[in-house]
Amino acid sequence: MFQILTLVSAKGRLTASIVADATAALNKNACQVDDINWLSPDEALDIPFKGAPANVVEGAIRNALLTSPVDIYIGPAEDRRKHLLMADMDATVISSETLDDLAAHIGLKDEIADITSKAMNGEIDFNSALELRVKILSGLPEETLSQTFKAIHLTPGAKELIRSMRAYGAHCVLISGGFSYFTSRIAKICGFNEHHANQLEIRNARLTGQIIKPILDREAKCAHLKRLVFELGLKPEDTAAIGDGANDVDMLKAAGLGVAYKGKPIAVKAARARIDFGDLRTLLFYQGYKLEEFVS
């Protein structure tokens, strides 16, 4: 049975030399290689092959392209396009961590960011770290949420990923251990079907330093994925999930295609695929979408 090797690089940087090195690595592993299918000229392609285990081939390809800024994924040739996408928000769909950005308004961004980093690396408990960081924000004016939102930047490719998958029938969910104030707005901008996140308690137009329970954590993210698989009548292999940190690990493991987006080591280890160099459009290429099928 054929498998698909997908290579994705920056536009114009997927050179003939890179393709030749990848093909040579396949040949050295005694693979039967089929015709190359370009998904985007000089940017993304598929190479069907069979004859060697995926993990062996992936290791060989990564060694062959060690100095090239190329994202690599090997997956089955059948049923590549997923019908459910679960996407993390902070440092995935948007470029920053909103909790760290909120802390900047009281001059504590570095202190909060250090806790965030440890939580995302799985070095400390997520729930405890979240409650501690939110407690530090006690008394912050509600208007700071609006100021923080205005400074948010979408990760390149976010709109194309969501709008393209929805155009071809996928159900797309933004799910975050962050806050619903931000997910509600980002979901609308990108076109997600639904969003889920934690809710900050606000009284008298100020943050109280508390989160309205229950906390949406790694177990809750995975539970939402499993719930939607059941409700939508899907199989686990029909799903994709993308995230960057420890809070995404269970979701990445449960999805048919779990992707670590410029992820922490703990997320990379849990995921079936990774995106180290490209933007979020890369996940479309991993599913076999061609550039002309993208919806912007």
Catalytic residues: 88, 90
Q: Alpha-carbon distance 175 to 25, whole Å?
A: 38
Alpha helices in 151-264 (DSSP H): 158-167, 180-190, 218-231, 249-254
How far separated are the first and last CA of the chain, in Å rounded? 34
Q: Where are the beta strands (DSSP E) in 131-227?
A: 171-179, 194-203, 206-212
Helix, strand, coil proportions of the chain in percent (round to 5)?
45, 25, 30
Name beta bridge partners: 171: 84
Report in angstroms the alpha-carbon separations of 167 from 75, 119, 291: 23, 35, 14
For residue 214, cis peptide bond before it (omega within 30 degrees of 0): yes
DSSP 185: H
Q: Which residue has the tokens 């790694």?
A: 218
Query: Which residue carries 């048919």 as its tokens?
Result: 256
Nearest to residue 72, comparing CAs of 264, 285, 290, 289?
Answer: 285
Q: What are phi and psi of 216, to 5 degrees?
A: -85, 105
Instruction: Count the residues in the chain.
Output: 296
Return the residue matching tokens 């040739």: 77
